[in-house]
Homo-oligomer: A and B are copies of this chain.
Amino acid sequence: MAFPLGAPTQSTVWYSFMMPKQHPRRRSRSIQIGSVAIGGGAAISVQSMTNTDTRDARATLAQIERCAQARCDLIRCAVPDMAAAEALKTICAESPLPVIADIHFDYTLALAAMEAGAHGLRLNPGNIGSRDRVRAVVSAARERRVPIRIGVNAGSIARPLARRVDAGDMALADAMVESALEHVRILEEMDYDQIKISLKASDVRTTIDAYRALADKTPWPFHVGVTEAGTTRAGTIKSAVALGILIEEGLVDTLRVSLTAPPEEEVVVGREILKSLDLIAGGHRFISCPTCGRTEIDMTPIAEAVERYLIQTDPPLTVAVMGCVVNGPGEARHADVGIAGGRGQGILYRKGKVIRKVPESELASALIREIESILAEGEETQ
């Protein structure tokens, strides 16, 4: 066989490309926030943050409830003043999820938040003043087994480091790592062993570089996310790219997707990212084709109606919505149930076998009814 232009044949490795492969998970230490284990091989957990006024305990709890329904694992609330710390009592008592208090600068708010029952803190010990203040926080945290997240953002690294970055002396990612390690050392010197670290930037490259650089410098678990990531579309893309790469490299212990959108939407995106990498067991798989010149029905509203149903009920089924009868059932033959469009109508099928024809306007509801009948059959046989 003549290989064009002199390259070797397929039977040999034609050049020395270092084959990429999935990394093992980084072996981080395990910490515990309420009922949720983070690091040390525990399943990657999904977090979000309320954007209600924390002082309004009822509104905040309602939002936490919506996050819990979206299968959030941990929730964070800003604690900007004593009234918010006070409201945290009700919130922590009634929240279905462990609550993390987000504290900036004022150590008395950290003490009050723990007193109110917070299961975790986000607080940078280098920013709360004297060692005595840090010792007071660490002592209360140790007593209650409250982990502390050190959260370094690209925009808020310590001034001497920021100046070196601005002068072009130091990469931003390295400055973030150094800044985080400074805060970590303060807690380690007090023998504190419930620590978690985040290094967030608004751009994906800096985020990836920072976590990679920190990976072998510290044993503490990583909370990973892109901060100020943008609107739903842009933020979803940045988060999925950064988290996808860092999860594949074994560096993620817990994650937050940041969107300028309701927190429950962040949870849905975070879970979809984990699901795409087979890191959430069970639940639905949904496949729907992009449509092409062969498609003769309006697929998008049908696919979206089915997806809304699937996100809510999350049945353990693979469901397909395909545009054409020719390729539909074949391409989706591993689906448990699906529809394939034709002209003004479509077919409903199960396990690649046609059940019946359905008019276009009834396709979504026929598919949903079929899913419910499969679920009911499953219950009967159990």
Contact = CB atoms under 8 A, between A and B. Distances in A.
Contacts of A228: 287-290, 320, 322, 331-332
A141 interface: no
A218 B3 CA distance: 11
A330 interface: yes
Interface residues of A, number: 115
A21 B111 CA distance: 40
Interface stretch (A128-136, A143-151, A229-237, A355-363): A229-237
A64 interface: no
A53 B191 CA distance: 68
Contacts of A292: 49-51, 78, 102
A296 to B, nearest CB: 8
A281 interface: no
A78 B20 contact: no
B217 A78 contact: no
A216 B248 contact: no
Interface stretch (A66-74, A239-247, A366-374): A239-247
A45 B15 CA distance: 24
A254 interface: no
Interface stretch (A92-100, A112-120, A257-265): A257-265
Contact of A229 (B10, B290, B333): B290
A153 B185 CA distance: 51
Most chain B Cβ neighbours within 10 Å, of A26, A218, A263, A293: A293
Interface in A271-304: 272-273, 276-278, 285-295, 299-300, 303-304
Contact of A52 (B52, B272, B293, B307): B293
Contacts of A293: 50-54, 60, 77-80, 84
A196 B205 CA distance: 28
Nearest to A184: B10
Contacts of A203: 276, 278, 285
A19 B216 contact: yes
A16 to B, nearest CB: 8
Contact of A155 (B242, B248, B307, B331): B331
B156 A20 contact: no
Given A260-B299, A260-B300, A156 B289 contact: no
A332 B263 CA distance: 22
Contact of A230 (B237, B242, B251, B303): B303
Interface of A: 1-5, 7, 10, 13-15, 17-21, 23-24, 26-27, 29, 49-54, 60, 77-80, 84, 102, 153, 155-156, 181, 184-185, 188-189, 191-193, 202-205, 208, 212, 215-219, 227-238, 240-245, 248-251, 258-261, 263, 266, 268-269, 272-273, 276-278, 285-295, 299-300, 303-304, 307, 320-322, 327, 330-334
Q: 10 closest pairs, A vs B, by CB?
A: A241-B244, A155-B331, A78-B293, A240-B240, A4-B193, A20-B249, A258-B290, A202-B287, A54-B293, A51-B291
9 contacts: A7-B29, A17-B27, A18-B23, A19-B212, A52-B293, A80-B294, A155-B330, A235-B290, A244-B244
Given A228-B288, A232-B304, 14 more contacts: A5-B193, A10-B188, A10-B218, A19-B212, A49-B292, A51-B293, A60-B293, A155-B331, A156-B330, A208-B248, A229-B288, A244-B245, A260-B321, A266-B290
